[in-house]
Amino acid sequence: MTSVQQAKELEKILNEDRKTAIISHFNPDGDAVGASVGMRSFLLSAGKDADIVIPSRQPEFLDFLDPEKHITCYVDDKEKAESLINGAELIICLDFNRIERTEWLAYPLSSSKAVKVLIDHHLNPDTEKFDLIISDPGASSTCELLYRTLMCFSSIDGDPTRLSLITLTALATGILTDTNNFNNSVTPDTFLIASDMLRCKVDIDAINNMVFKRYSESRMRLMGHLLTDSMSIDPGLSASTIVITLKDREHYHFADGDSEGFVNLPLMIRDVEVSALFSETPEYIRVSLRSKGRISVNALANAYFNGGGHERAAGGRLYMPIDEVRGYFLKSLEQFLQSKAEE
Ligand code: 5GP
Ligand code: MN
């Protein structure tokens, strides 16, 4: 199916008026929440309804996307989250390629008999788990892909003024956050869409301020501490590592999402090609990887960090004492580069 046919198929499914739940991934980011809110507000404008369920809390800086606190977070209300998924006849999955990325929602999601649609920009989606898959790993973000999809709907007919400002603002937020403010994964389409959005009076400046300029003082100080005391550079591997310990979390009053974006900083250093950030939680170590281009961190995360993602931005998890992660990372990267050199 072409992308236009897929869009028409989605429009048809939405017009069949099923009870709908929208879900995205664990640790939802701007793209996950933006796409969810954008999808829901589009449905509301079309006289339909949908409930948004997220597996874990969104970072505070995204709260402006959900002023009426409509989103149900599993961690805060397990019963409601489960009943919304169990009661749904249509489940729209956004911004993840594998059901396991929804963490504890994976079981209710896989056992649900609902029609399942996936809209996503990660590599290798789980094709057999969905009734309709709209996937484009070339898209900067799920929000970009959702925007392009909506443009193909007969009701929109390529006219962005037919989308509400709320929908456009939510989608713009996902594009801004996933591209790190138009820094990576951008395509000619990304800028055309941003241009459409600006013409439709989306306040990109305001989103920019909301998303990138609302650090708390302690978050800023945590960043300073990490750059000064934790970042280490391995010149041989052109790699940077930063470790956030449970002690740092406590000392700097760390909240969910507070380290968002920190992993990008070492890439500003001339000789750093790959940057890793390890964040200790009581259960596991959260891994964030970024690359300037030569190294596929998606493949690296798949091979050594129980995760995945995109070529230049990926993540995963480790289960080991926090003081062993730097050594593990450098050894893994070395092996990974060797295996690539031998290919
Ligand atoms: P971040 O470093 O911002 O948490 O994640 C960057 C990207 O890596 C996300 O957009 C997502 O695609 C991917 N990612 C993050 N954590 C995981 C994980 O635990 N498993 C997988 N498969 N992908 C992840
Ligand atoms: Mn995304």
Over the chain, what is the mean pLDDT? 96
Q: Is the CB of 315 under 6 A from ligand 1?
A: yes
Q: Which atom of ligand 1 is nearest to the CA of 25?
A: 11
Instruction: With cut-offs at 50, 70 and 90, classify the pLDDT of residue 49.
Output: very high
Q: How far is the CA of 121 from the centre of ligand 2 (A)?
A: 6
The H-or-E segment that residue 111 falls in is helix 106-111
Q: Does ligand 1 have an atom closer than 6 angstroms to the CB of 25?
A: no
User: How far, in Å, from the CA of 163 to the mean position of ligand 1?
Assistant: 29
Q: Is the CB of 307 under 6 A from ligand 1?
A: yes
Could you tell me the distance, in angstroms and rounded to a whole number, from the CA of residue 189 to the centre of ligand 1? 23
Average pLDDT over residues 147-159: 98
Express as a percent the part of the chain with pLDDT over 70.
100
Residue pair 277/267 in contact (Cβ under 8 Å)? The answer is: no
Minimum CA distance residue for ligand 1 atom 11:
309
Quote the pTM value. 0.96
State the distance from the centre of ligand 2 to the C-alpha of 311, rounded, in angstroms: 12
Whole-number Å distance, alpha carbon 95 to ligand 2 midpoint, is: 5
Query: Measured from the CB, is residue 279 less than 6 Å from ligand 1?
Result: no
Confidence of residue 257 (pLDDT cuts 50, 70, 90): confident
Cα–Cα distance list, 73 to 24, 80, 187 (Å): 11, 9, 33
Q: Which residues surround ligand 2, an ion (CB under 5 A)?
A: 31, 95, 141-142, 178
Q: What is the tens place of the pLDDT at every residue in 78-109?
A: 999 999 999 999 999 999 999 999 999 999 99
Answer yes or no: is pLDDT of 178 > 80.
Answer: yes
- Residue pair 37/50 in contact by the 8 Å Cβ criterion: no
In short, whether 125's Cβ falls inside 6 Å of ligand 1 is no
Read off the DSSP letter of residue 16: T
Identify which ligand lies nearest to the alpha carbon of 305. Answer: 1
Interval between CA 301 and ligand 1 midpoint (Å)? 9
Is-contact 127 118, C-beta < 8 A?
A: no
Decide whether any atom of ligand 1 lies within 6 Å of the 309 Cβ.
yes
| Cα–Cα distances in angstroms (integers) from residue 267 to residues 68, 218, 275, in the given order | 37, 23, 6
Please check the confidence at residue 294 and state whether its pLDDT lies above 90: no
Write the pLDDT tens digit of every residue in 202-246. 999 999 999 999 988 999 999 999 999 999 999 999 999 999 999
What is the structure's pLDDT at 293? 81
What CATH number has the domain spanning 217-342? 3.10.310.30
Q: What is the CA radius of gyration of the chain?
A: 20
Residue with CA at minimum distance from ligand 1 atom 20: 307
Question: What pLDDT is stored for residue 166 in this prediction?
Answer: 98
Mutate to test the pocket of ligand 1, among 120, 274, 310 (most ligand atoms within 8 A of CB): 310
**Which sequence spans correspond to the domains of the chain?**
3-212, 217-342
Please state which of the four CATH numbers 3.90.1560.10, 3.90.1640.10, 3.40.50.300, 1.20.120.550 is assigned to the domain occupying 3-212. 3.90.1640.10
Mean pLDDT of 3-23: 97
Q: With CA atoms as reference, report the closest residue to 262 among 278, 238, 285.
A: 278
- What pLDDT score was predicted for residue 258? 84
Nearest CA to ligand 1 atom 10: 309
Q: How far is ligand 1, taken at its centre, from the CA of residue 173, in Å?
A: 18
Q: Which amino acid is at 64?
A: F
CB 24 within 8 A of CB 35: yes
Q: Which atom of ligand 1 is nearest to the CA of 96?
A: 12
Mutate to test the pocket of ligand 1, among 102, 120, 288, 318 (most ligand atoms within 8 A of CB): 288
* pLDDT tens-place string over residues 265-276: 999 999 999 999
Ligand 1 centre to CA of 314 (Å) is 5
